[in-house]
Chain A
Amino acid sequence: MSVITVQNLSVKMHNSTVLSDISFEVAPGEYLGIVGPNGSGKSTLIRSLLGLTEIEKGRIEIMGRPLADFREWSKIGYLPQAAVVANKSFPASVGEVVATGLLGRKSFPRRFNAKDRDTVLRTLETLGIEHLYQKQIGKLSGGQSQRVFLARAMVSNPDILILDEPTAALDPVTRGNFYETIASLNKDQKKTILLITHDSATIGSYAGKLLYLDRRLIFFGSFGEFCQSKDMSLYFGDFAQHLICHQH
């Protein structure tokens, strides 16, 4: 059974079509790289999956349930685009922020206990940032912030991780480490990963499948298939396809 099913999805924003007739499925434990140029609708696709954007038509199912009926949001971890703290003086510690990721599985009135604190600390340890637990969230570097927000996405031990351009603000070394961390979550913990990136060549080294989007679905399949595809060769041109396929 697929964990995510998208059928004939179309999204309009301000009377202009942002996504048109998108269909694909994601199997459990799969690593899907979502690529495409600026304005191609990558983030809109992710936001539609999370119920943050109204869809015009089509059907989305998460873990076998229609999106409107899906309630187990703690099984999905989300790292938003540009995951930086807008208000640098926001009075919250890393521990407080990461703990919010646990709220989805708590019922009203939501309270944290010692076990939750341990869970937060363990998650931070997994990412090697446990020393940041009490640090004010606005005082972190870009790379540290990114890991803290990844910790928030991971803390509820979700089955699916959705990451929207997680490496955009990172330097090359931190970016490499980040991709390795995500790859190990996919391999070792069997997490399903959906990762949006502009970096088509790098994602090919990690993702089992690639979804190329340009307001419509241009390609959906394995990276190998992408490199062999005559259609993609026609779409990108031989040289561009060669560059994408042989940079990794």
Chain B
Amino acid sequence: MDITQIFPQIIEALQFGFVQRAVVAGCFIGVCCAVLGVFLVLRRLSLIGEGLAHFSLAPIGLALMLGIYPLYVALPMGILASFWILHLAHRANMYGDAAIGLVSAIGVAAGVIMASIGSGFNVDLFGYLFGDILAVNRLESLMTIGLSFVVLLLVLLNYQDLFAIAFDEEYAMVLGLNTVRTNQILVILTTFTVILGIKVVGIMLVSSLIIFPAVTALQLSRGFKTAIIFAVVAAICSVVLGIVLAFILNFPAGATIVLVNFVFFLISYSLKTLIKV
């Protein structure tokens, strides 16, 4: 590969509408995942992203079988699943990870059965399993931008509550904060973000968009706001670099974004270790 050709290749790639849509959708989803990820990782709830993504295999499978646009089914069913997880964890006295595992397994099992019944849509389902960011259409791109504004606005409005609960949920209750409502807001926003993120990196990898930028930022941040800013920067850089590398190297974009995220994490972890030494 001629290295001098890379820059013109990047410029050329960015001329394409589908690449532009991929970068825009990827960055917006990445930002939402990064912001929510900091709260979820610190509350040890980051696997809720994985659970909801896996669960969404069932509604996506159902929608494909019925010929409905998958996100229309996956979004409401995802919200129901997230409330189910909260209910199991809080009311049924089940450990949070067990509740996530249970709901996730039901979704995967139902999705696999639907895939076996309607074998004709397996190719589409494959796209949702591993993501297809370069196939993001105009509607999905607009939905992603709209959702991102909603997520960021709600996080901004609830920032102090989310911070207080992340640090010490019981104390937040003593302060009279409505922790139940704030937790519901957090899981609803996570559900929307995860389900739209499936298009970017797929069901199998979407939780990495939540976990990687957050853990990368947490290696070096001493303040909460700094952690969120670092996570957002890491997310945007990994999405842009991932898409560009995928285009140049002809790799799958979703997987490349995740591996770029991993490299950022390694850099951040090494810097932390060096600073300590």
Q: How far, in angstroms, from A158 to B229 measured CA to CA in the complex?
A: 34
Q: Does B110 contact A (CB under 8 A)?
A: no
Size of interface on A: residues with Cβ below 8 Å to B:
29
Q: Is the pair A110, B174 in contact by a Cβ cutoff of 8 Å?
A: no
Q: Is the interface of A mostly helix, strand, loop or mixed?
A: loop
Nearest residue (CB) in B for A106 is: B160
Q: How far, in angstroms, from A76 to B174 measured CA to CA in the complex?
A: 8
Q: Does A227 contact B (CB under 8 A)?
A: no
Q: Which of A71, A87, A92, A109 contacts B176 (CB 8 A)?
A: A71
Q: Which of B42, B158, B167 contacts A109 (CB 8 A)?
A: B158
Q: Does B91 contact A (CB under 8 A)?
A: no
Q: Does A169 contact B (CB under 8 A)?
A: no
Q: Does A130 contact B (CB under 8 A)?
A: no
Tell me the A71-102 residues at the B interface (CB within 8 Å).
71, 73-74, 76, 78, 80, 87, 89-93, 96-97, 100-101
Q: Does B157 contact A (CB under 8 A)?
A: yes
Q: How far, in angstroms, from A92 to B225 measured CA to CA in the complex?
A: 9
Q: Is the pair A100, B167 in contact by a Cβ cutoff of 8 Å?
A: yes
Q: Is the interface of B mostly helix, strand, loop or mixed?
A: helix
Q: Is the pair B161, A52 in contact by a Cβ cutoff of 8 Å?
A: no
Q: Does A104 contact B (CB under 8 A)?
A: yes
Q: Given the known inter-chain contacts A100-B175, A109-B157, please indicate yes or no for A80 contacting B218, CB distance below 8 A.
A: no
Q: How far, in angstroms, from A110 to B227 measured CA to CA in the complex?
A: 20
Q: Is the pair B160, A90 in contact by a Cβ cutoff of 8 Å?
A: no
Minimum C-beta distance from B219 to chain A (A): 8
Q: Is the pair B223, A92 in contact by a Cβ cutoff of 8 Å?
A: yes
Q: Is the pair B175, A103 in contact by a Cβ cutoff of 8 Å?
A: yes
Nearest residue (CB) in B for A97 is: B167
Q: Does B173 contact A (CB under 8 A)?
A: yes
Residues of B close to A74: CB separation below 8 A: 175-176
Minimum C-beta distance from A45 to chain B (A): 15
Q: Does B83 contact A (CB under 8 A)?
A: no
Q: Does A112 contact B (CB under 8 A)?
A: yes
Residues of A close to B160: CB separation below 8 A: 100, 103, 106, 109-112
Residues of A close to B227: CB separation below 8 A: 91
Residues of A close to B158: CB separation below 8 A: 109
Q: Is the pair B221, A100 in contact by a Cβ cutoff of 8 Å?
A: no
Residues of B close to A103: CB separation below 8 A: 160-161, 164, 172, 175, 177
Residues of A close to B42: CB separation below 8 A: 87, 90-91
The residue in A80, A92, A136 that gathers the most chain B C-beta atoms within 10 A of its C-beta is A92
Q: Is the pair B222, A100 in contact by a Cβ cutoff of 8 Å?
A: no
Tell me the B61-102 residues at the A interface (CB within 8 Å).
none
Q: Is the pair B174, A50 in contact by a Cβ cutoff of 8 Å?
A: yes
B residues with a Cβ closer than 8 A to A are 42, 156-158, 160-161, 163-164, 167-168, 170-177, 218, 221-224, 226-227
Chain A to chain B: the 5 pairs with minimum beta-carbon distance, closest first: A73-B176, A104-B175, A91-B227, A110-B160, A109-B157
Given contacts A78-B171, A100-B168, A104-B175, 14 further A-B contacts (CB under 8 A): A52-B170, A52-B174, A73-B174, A73-B175, A74-B176, A91-B226, A93-B223, A100-B163, A100-B171, A101-B175, A103-B177, A110-B161, A111-B160, A152-B171
